[in-house]
Structure 1
Amino acid sequence: MKLIKVGLCAFGMSGKVFHAPFLKEHPGFFISGIVERSKQDSKENYPDAIIYRSVEDMLKDEDIELVVVNTPVQTHFEHVKLALEAGKNVVVEKPFTVTVLEAEELVNLAEKKGVLLSVYQNRRFDRDYLQAQKILKEKCLGEIKEAEIRFDRYRTEPSTKHHKEDPQQLGSGALHDLGAHLIDQAVQCFGFPEKLFADIFSMKGDDFANDYFEIIMYYKNHLRVRLKSSVFSKEAHYAYILHGERGSFLQERADNQENELISGSLPLYGKDWTLPLKESDGILNFINDNAKTERVLTTSEPGNYMNYYQQIYESMVFGYALPSPATEIIQNMIIIDAAQRSAKEGKVINLI
């Protein structure tokens, strides 16, 4: 098996939880370098990786083929550009960039350099999203008329991360953070909308970046898709709600990969690794082909973020399709930009 050497641009939560464990357990990758500006936290679990004190120094390593840009979003453009100019393939954390213009420039540079550029939309591999996608593909609900995707939390205290909480910094707040996931999933399921309306603000007050958003996306055939997130949600809502001509589907947010990774669990290569669900996590209520109403409790199959890096490996080695290519994610950035404009101007924004 060809071994791909990887450089990790940071070793905060993103590096420790969402990237390094998968790269370590995948036999096709080797973590060759990790940027830690002052610490050496990575040495305990990744003793063979060289610690660099800057991204620029790590990029001088000619053996590194893949660079993971997992620094704060405000630095994504700078670091991705440096990596692309150094001829590296790049995985960049979501959100891709702060603005559409930045995203477009990076896509053009990657094409010019002939290297791969993918955005880490790992929640395409969440069990709850995969279950909702499965129901849509089975078409048992008929034509979908209304859909809602939510990601709620109960976090009434501000984050300690300045780049996420400062309202003066572009890219801070829930819209770029969680919105990047919900928008991506909506576009994957229903395509690019014709227009949208958004309400975005900070429930904690004007001194903090937005922590609430609601986006209504308008589609042809009278379809409406609502995306919503709040940090004042003590009781959980269904994460996915689908209403169609023949019935409804309700899906809980049931994926536990993040929590298990934080607790120290290691992902497995080539097999499911998360704990099985103890009970059902969805409700499907629909009229079947015999005109009979069926109401069944559903249980989602495990998701696995390892599949993202497996697809990255197959793309680099065999030329297979790239997961969440940057050319595709530009659509998400257009929606984020339009949502900000809609909230500011208080009007519907046409996208097509």
Structure 2
Amino acid sequence: MTLTIGYIGFGKSTTRYHMPYTLIRDNIRIKTIYNHRRKPELEADYAQHNIEFTDNLDTLLQDTEIQLVSICTPASTHYDLAKKALENGKNVLVEKPFCTTSEEAEELFALAKSKGLIAMAYQNRRFDSDFLVIKEVLASGKLGELVELESHMDYYRPEAPDAPGEYYDGAFYGLGVHMMDQIIDLFGRPEEVSYDIRSIRNSNNPDDTFEIQFFYPTLKVIVKTSHLVNIPYPKFTLHGTKGSFVKYGIDQQETYLKAGIMPGEKNFGVDPESSYGALVYVDASGKTQQETIPTPLGDYGRLYDQLQDAILNGTPKLVSDEETLTNMTILEQGFTGQNPRVISL
């Protein structure tokens, strides 16, 4: 069965992180793209796919063939657009952050539930290759009981021209929302969270640096981003009662997409062997073992596969309402008091 979708927005999010995956899937049909400012020169690139373009939002929302609306617009517009789509009987997939407040998110989930529809956050980084290998290592049990996990997404970008914005325009809402979703997917809702959120390069701009710590009964998780890191940390570092695992290098899908190499092309997104993770652990006989763990292939399109199954066959959606609300609560609480601090959840 084929899922017919429409996109709201025709910027980088749609053309780089969504459409390259949906265009190559037989179970997905893109019927309409809404863009309030038409771009004929870009639209022509998709003529072979028989996609309709419109600057009239009602054309998309009132089309009875469209089952899913994927919203790829600025964060400040997500709530209003998702609400309109749901009111018109459409399932919705919403780019990050899902909304700007927990209250907005709760209202959308309640509306979707009342209409028998799905509203879900676009957490494509659940299909990052580096995250998939973490799940494999944890599932193997070779680390024993996990006691600490550290996750990084760092850059070296010392220049930061003035770009004022709202609290949801910074790195915490832009990058932290993905990194924290991965942790919530693995371990659920933490008991406590500590915050250190700052704007280091240019105080006129929203935050560019954060360190968030999640506390579980026997586990501590550290989530960090900085734009002033010129010698990379490992992407993931895990320590358990029986061993440790270290993985350098981030998922390569974005690198390939930026270079114009698309999903379906040879070796798309393949992690170089030099970035494979290192696992050191003590086995059942008490001997120390060392393994190099190949990185599985990431694929953001798997999110659409799962959502197609959820909409057409009623399977559970990938990102639950509770997981999104936990994420939204942590994001929101990051800007309601003095940093650094610890809060109880």
TM-score above 0.5, yes or no: yes
Determine the structure 1 residue equivalent to 2:202.
205
* Greater CA drift, 124-133 or 53-62: 53-62
Shift of 1:219: 1.2
Instruction: Confirm or deny: 8 A CA contact 2:201 2:208 kept in the other structure.
Output: yes
TM-score when scaled to structure 1? 0.91
Determine the structure 1 residue equivalent to 2:292.
297
Shift of 1:37: 2.2
**Does residue 317 in structure 1 map to residue 312 in structure 2?**
yes
Determine the structure 2 residue equivalent to 1:175.
172
Determine the structure 2 residue equivalent to 1:20.
19
Cα distance in structure 1, aligned partners of 2:175 and 2:272: 24
Instruction: Confirm or deny: 8 A CA contact 2:160 2:202 kept in the other structure.
Output: no
Number of residue pairs matched by the alignment = 342
Determine the structure 1 residue equivalent to 2:90.
88
**Does residue 43 in structure 1 map to residue 48 in structure 2?**
no
Shift of 1:321: 2.1
Cα distance in structure 2, aligned partners of 1:172 and 1:153: 17
Which letter maps to 1:29?
A: I
Instruction: Confirm or deny: 8 A CA contact 2:252 2:271 kept in the other structure.
Output: no
Cα distance in structure 1, aligned partners of 2:283 and 2:224: 30
Secondary structure in 2 aligned to 1:295?
strand
Determine the structure 2 residue equivalent to 1:166.
164
Cα distance in structure 2, aligned partners of 1:179 and 1:54: 34
Shift of 1:229: 0.3
Secondary structure in 2 aligned to 1:348?
strand
Secondary structure in 2 aligned to 1:208?
coil
**Does residue 330 in structure 1 map to residue 331 in structure 2?**
no
Which letter maps to 2:169?
A: S
Instruction: Give unmatched runs, 5+ long, in structure 1.
Output: none
Which letter maps to 2:214?
A: M
Instruction: Confirm or deny: 8 A CA contact 2:161 2:202 kept in the other structure.
Output: no
Cα distance in structure 1, aligned partners of 2:22 and 2:53: 16
Among candidates 122, 125, 132, match of residue 123 of structure 1: 125
Shift of 1:124: 0.5
Shift of 1:272: 7.7
Shift of 1:126: 0.7
Cα distance in structure 2, aligned partners of 1:3 and 1:225: 40
Secondary structure in 1 aligned to 2:274?
coil
Among candidates 232, 250, 258, match of residue 254 of structure 2: 258
Determine the structure 1 residue equivalent to 2:301.
306
Deviations 1:318-339 (A, max 9, x none): 2222121344311111111223
- What is the CA RMSD across the aligned residues, in angstroms? 2.0
Alignment of 1:275-290 (within 5 A): 275=270, 277-290=272-285
* Identity value in percent: 33
Shift of 1:95: 1.3
Among candidates 223, 244, 247, match of residue 243 of structure 2: 247
